[in-house]
Amino acid sequence: MDIIRKVADLLGANSNEHQSVLVNLLKIGVVIHHGSVPLEVRFLVEDFIREGFAKICFATSTLAQGINMPFDIVWLENMRVQAEGEEERALAFKNLIGRSGRLTKLNNFDFGYVYTKNASLLSSRIRLPYQMSEKSILEDVANDIDNDMNEFVNSIFSGTFNENYNIPQSRAERFSAEDVTYYIKVALNIIFNTENGKSLKGSSNKGNRAIVRESFKRLFEVSIGRPLLDGEESIFNRAISILFFVIRGMSFKEIVGLRYSEACRRDEGKTGAAPFMQPASKIPDSKLIHPYSMFKGIKAKDVNYDRIVFDTYDYLDTVISFSLTDAFMGAFRVYYANEGDENALRMIDLLKYGTTNPDHILLLRYGFSAEEIEKVEDYIQTINEKEIKFKNLDKIPSEISEKVEWYL
């Protein structure tokens, strides 16, 4: 089936070396859905369900987000729903059980079934009303000096938020310090010294990678206003290593392949225990005091390919795109305003889009994914902010023809 083939291609799970449980289950109509499944894959999985191919779906409470994936039955193994309070849990729970039914496309009344081990708790959550609080949660953050968002929130309340840099003014001043300017200049000079991040590739450039990593660590610590804890630093170091792959222009499935080779010790014949690999998690987080491995007690030959897929996506999405980019973008904006170094703008593009290629950036803004860009760029005559002009439309590959037709 075309959907399954596309999923396998996106995950790099189309070889004997890379066996994906998620892909193999799709072949028998079983779906896995959670927040660490790459976004493009989630879209395809949801299409798979809506087209009626799914017989059963194993999901986390991501279903409570209101995704329109209809099922006859929602079976609740437990009643745990992550939310701040009882009312919020009840609201999320109602969204979750709302996935049952909706199979009828006709204009008829439809219904589904909900099964649970705790009928009384189900009943109480259905009956519990929900009313939005009149108190902003920002007020709690503003009063909590140990909260890492305290500076950001208080700058909004006090009117000291710098809209030009999109950061608190106090943070902008820290980014203007002489030593921070030096660290940024050194890192940018190394990154853009050669094309496609070649200055960060291979054993001969190990020193360059160490310098850039240390420079970026300094920026992040200046941003949050404190040193990283050991657990946070372990996540940070892993994220920067993955960022180096992005700078070199590697695709998602290529990054997954490299990380899987490391995790299963492919070069050593998949012998021994799996190496230490810190799982992704949002930073800063003052609870991440100590590092820990997601493969503790697991043999290298038993490392699950999907586990690497999900963790890589979490690093790219949660850590790099959210945690690190938020911190770095402000630093590079301040640096550019002070120094006028065009490399700062190139780095901002790299963080926002994963590329500095202007045509690729425009294609991303037009809605093409990074994987689709590789297939469509040879069929583009011209592209600008007003339009795309295609060529050789009759030769465009079938897997991207629908997206092109939609644009036309």
β 161-162/388-390 pair status: unpaired
CATH 3.40.50.300 residue ranges of the chain are: 2-127
- From first to last of its 408 residues, what are the pLDDT tens digits of the chain? 789 998 999 999 877 789 999 999 999 999 888 889 998 898 898 889 888 888 888 877 666 665 666 777 777 776 666 666 777 777 777 777 777 776 666 677 777 777 777 777 777 777 777 776 676 777 777 677 777 778 888 888 889 999 999 899 999 999 999 999 999 999 999 999 888 788 998 999 999 999 999 999 999 999 999 999 999 999 999 999 999 999 988 989 999 999 999 999 999 999 999 999 999 999 999 999 999 999 999 999 999 999 999 999 999 999 999 899 988 999 999 999 999 999 999 999 999 988 888 999 999 998 888 878 888 888 889 999 988 988 888 888 777 787 788 877
Please state, as a whole number, how many other Cβ atoms lie within 10 Å of the Cβ of residue 356.
19
End-to-end CA distance of the chain: 26
Q: Are 38 and 11 in contact (CB under 8 A)?
A: yes
Rounded to whole angstroms, the Cα distance separating 169 from 173 reads 6
Helix, strand or coil for residue 388? strand
Helix, strand or coil for residue 390? strand
Rounded to whole angstroms, the Cα distance separating 23 from 9 reads 10
Query: What is the domain class of 2-127 according to CATH?
Result: alpha beta
Helix, strand or coil for residue 25? helix
Please state, as a whole number, how many other Cβ atoms lie within 10 Å of the Cβ of residue 36.
19
pTM: 0.86
